[in-house]
């Protein structure tokens, strides 16, 4: 059996803390344990289409463990099977996957390690069907990837959101206001609920539980009657009222994620002020939760994922995604997880914990 001599690696989709830790772990393990060369594509799949890459050596990854972002750059707009191009003033889409396959052959790559979220996994699945050997590593601050208990990037984002909630408390107490902190998460509430519990949120609204504004207002009034003249609301960007729909900030044509959520915090603030005349302010954390240095938990998880990914390469167990199950690093077939979303189950211990400590989730307790 031919020895694996060279692997490629890319980071695609949104950035998050821990990406550099994974790149470092993949490179060090490949070089130190298996004498495998590593090539890093620049700006996600765009680098594969345009054949833009760097050779990743031990020197290149030295000192990047604690750095946020990704030294390779990333891109959430380019899918090799549907690349936007401007022709005669109009945007058309072309399948450039053959070009990607040619670039893989030119570089002599035996395997590609793709690091990303659901969009990256979906593209990886298509490339596997074209005969490319792929190992994937799950990354997202939303923690919504199917097949793994935890994605790296989530813990760091939750720490940032929790710190913001901590700081909002003093302003809320001083001005006797209701303060809304809106966080990312798309259609999953892991980030909102996790930071809400850790940050002492009084009300947390998540996509999995459509909220009734009457219950939200009642929870605020009950706090006032008890002498607590402020309330902290943590709201996931995908939260929606019963019988209603999500709030869309804008639609971006041609993007892999065309519908951009955002603005639900302002909608809820208007509802509260209209119904119970409590002064309400909104803080939208937005991309702030993507930045900064990774937490020790994310550095450890990212490193474990990177090491295991290269071990799968060495064992030729292609078409797999590394994953966390309990405390163990395992692998699952990419075809079993691509295109699926892991939301919070209604019987989750996180939801039960929130209710037990008296947190309002926008429904009847």
Q: Beta-strand (E) ranges in 159-257? A: 178-183, 203-205, 231-236, 248-251
Contact between 252 and 260 under an 8 Å Cβ cutoff? The reply is yes
Domains of the chain by start residue, with CATH? 6-152+294-326 (3.40.50.450), 158-291+345-356 (3.40.50.460)
The pTM score is 0.95
Identify whether 149 is a catalytic site residue.
Answer: no
**Predicted pLDDT of residue 365:** 65
**Predicted pLDDT of residue 251:** 67
**Predicted pLDDT of residue 76:** 83
| Active-site residue identified among 37, 118, 142, 202 | 142
Rounded Cα gap, residues 142 and 134, in angstroms: 23
Nearest to 359 by CA among 198, 244, 208: 198
Rounded Cα gap, residues 150 and 148, in angstroms: 5
Tokens representing 326 are 């309990």
**Predicted pLDDT of residue 254:** 59
Tokens representing 314 are 């060495």
DSSP 41-101: ESTTHHHHHHT-EEEE-TTTTTT-TT--S-TT---SS-BTTBEEEEETTEEEEE--HHHHH
**Residue 196 main-chain phi, psi, to 5 deg:** -65, -45
Per-residue pLDDT of the chain (365 residues; tens, 9 = 90+): 789 999 999 999 989 999 999 999 999 999 999 999 999 999 999 999 999 999 999 999 999 999 999 999 998 888 999 998 989 889 899 999 999 999 999 999 999 999 999 999 999 999 999 999 999 999 999 999 999 999 999 999 999 999 999 999 999 999 999 999 999 999 999 999 999 999 999 999 999 999 999 999 999 999 999 999 999 999 999 999 999 999 888 766 655 566 778 899 999 999 999 999 999 999 999 999 999 999 999 999 999 999 999 999 999 999 999 999 999 999 999 999 998 999 999 999 999 999 999 999 999 86
Contact between 91 and 314 under an 8 Å Cβ cutoff? The reply is no
């Amino acid at each position: 059996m031919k020895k694996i001599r060279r692997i490629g690696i890319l980071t695609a989709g949104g950035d998050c803390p821990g990406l550099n830790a994974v790149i470092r772990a993949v490179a060090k393990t490949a070089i130190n344990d298996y004498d495998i060369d590593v090539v890093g594509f620049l700006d996600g799949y765009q680098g594969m289409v345009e054949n833009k890459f760097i050779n990743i050596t031990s020197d290149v990854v030295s000192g990047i463990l604690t750095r946020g972002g990704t030294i390779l750059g990333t891109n959430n707009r380019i899918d090799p099977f549907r690349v936007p191009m401007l022709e005669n003033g109009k945007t058309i889409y072309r399948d450039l996957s053959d070009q990607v396959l040619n670039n893989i052959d030119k570089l002599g790559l035996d395997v590609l390690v793709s690091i990303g979220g659901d969009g990256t996994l979906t593209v990886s699945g298509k490339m596997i069907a074209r005969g490319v050997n792929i190992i994937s590593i799950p990354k997202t601050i939303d923690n919504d990837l199917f097949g793994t208990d935890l994605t790296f990037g989530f813990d760091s984002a939750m720490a940032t959101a929790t710190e913001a909630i901590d700081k909002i408390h003093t302003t809320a107490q001083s001005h006797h206001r209701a303060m809304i902190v809106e966080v990312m998460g798309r259609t999953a509430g892991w980030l909102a609920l996790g930071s809400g519990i850790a940050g002492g949120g009084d009300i947390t609204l998540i996509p999995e539980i459509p909220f009734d504004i009457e219950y939200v207002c009642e929870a605020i009034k009950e706090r006032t009657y008890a002498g607590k003249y402020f309330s902290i609301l943590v709201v996931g960007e995908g939260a929606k009222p019963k019988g209603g729909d999500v709030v869309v900030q804008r639609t971006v044509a041609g993007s892999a994620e065309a519908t951009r959520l955002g603005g639900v915090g302002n909608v809820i603030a208007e509802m509260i002020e209209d119904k119970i005349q409590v002064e309400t302010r909104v803080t939208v954390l937005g991309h702030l939760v993507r930045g900064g240095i990774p937490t020790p938990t994310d550095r450890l998880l990212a490193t474990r994922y990177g090491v295991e990914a290269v071990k799968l390469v060495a064992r030729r167990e292609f078409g797999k995604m590394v994953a966390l199950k309990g405390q163990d690093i395992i692998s699952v077939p990419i075809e079993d997880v691509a295109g699926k979303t892991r939301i919070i189950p209604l019987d989750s211990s996180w939801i039960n914990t929130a209710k037990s400590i008296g947190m309002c989730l926008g429904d009847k307790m």
